[in-house]
């Protein structure tokens, strides 16, 4: 039985959404093709109607997750320092720290992206360079832009490694304070 182009596109979208959530929750490398397809109610063999390889799927997942992240939306709309500061305040919150599936994909996927094939890393680099460019314009300081991106992502990674909400809060508060000082000192 042949499926319509629309059905195939809907299945592809379900696979991308499900794979992104699975990757951010438990890791992409640890889930096989059968598991990815099973999550959307299909057999592993149907996977190859949508992607040539699991690496191709991961490249698309990374592109999609990064382009839908809160940081990407801020860069697309442009921002002044106040708006950037408000966004980073939300980014460095316990709510965001606890929402690995719905939050920024860099903290949960960063290590997997680093180990991935070149096309995946190129996709991540392209996005990060565009984010850096937008923040450099807002901050008028390219070094500060890289430092803030790294600080924010790193704070979430460290926070998620910790067991207690109290220490997680300390990490996030210290990062918010540092980011706030950096934004105010460079004016």
CATH label of the domain that carries residue 145: 1.10.357.10
Angle at 101 between CA 41 and CA 153, to 5 degrees: 145
Per-residue b/e over 164-183, b at no fewer than 16 CB within 10 Å? eeeebeebbeebbeebeebb
Q: In a 3-state reduction of DSSP, which class is residue 98?
A: coil
Question: 51 and 118: one domain?
Answer: no
**In this predicted model, what pLDDT tens digit does every residue of 81-137 receive, in sequence order?**
888 888 899 999 999 999 988 888 899 999 999 998 899 999 999 999 989 998 999
Q: For the chain, how many structural domains are there in total?
A: 2
Which pLDDT score is estimated for 187? 59
Cα–Cα distances (Å) from 87 to 1, 113, 139, 154, in that order, read: 49, 24, 14, 16
Range of the domain at 132: 70-185
**In this predicted model, what pLDDT tens digit does every residue of 44-82 receive, in sequence order?**
778 888 888 888 888 888 888 888 876 766 666 666 888
3-state helix, strand, coil in the chain (%, to 5): 75, 0, 25
Residue 117 is classified by DSSP as -
- Last residue in a domain, options 40, 64, 88: 64
Question: 57 and 76: one domain?
Answer: no
Question: 56 and 93: one domain?
Answer: no
- pLDDT confidence band for 25 (50 / 70 / 90): confident
The yes-or-no verdict on residue 179 having pLDDT over 80 is yes
């Amino acid at each position: 039985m042949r499926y319509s182009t629309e059905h195939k596109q809907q299945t592809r979208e379900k696979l991308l959404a499900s794979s992104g959530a699975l990757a951010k929750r438990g890791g992409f490398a640890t889930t096989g093709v059968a598991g990815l397809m099973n999550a959307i109610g299909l057999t592993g063999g149907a996977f190859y109607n949508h992607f040539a390889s699991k690496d191709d799927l991961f490249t698309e997942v990374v592109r999609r997750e990064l382009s839908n992240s809160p940081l990407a939306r801020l860069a697309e709309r442009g921002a002044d320092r106040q708006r950037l500061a408000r966004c980073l305040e939300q980014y460095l919150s316990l709510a965001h720290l606890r929402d690995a599936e719905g939050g920024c994909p860099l903290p949960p996927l960063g290590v997997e992206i680093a180990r991935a094939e070149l096309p995946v890393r190129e996709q991540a680099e392209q996005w990060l360079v565009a984010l850096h460019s937008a923040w450099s314009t807002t901050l008028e300081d390219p070094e500060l832009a890289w430092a803030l991106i790294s600080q924010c992502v790193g704070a979430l990674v460290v926070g998620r490694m910790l067991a207690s909400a109290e220490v997680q809060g300390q990490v996030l508060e210290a990062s918010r304070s540092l980011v706030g000082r950096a934004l105010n000192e460079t004016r």
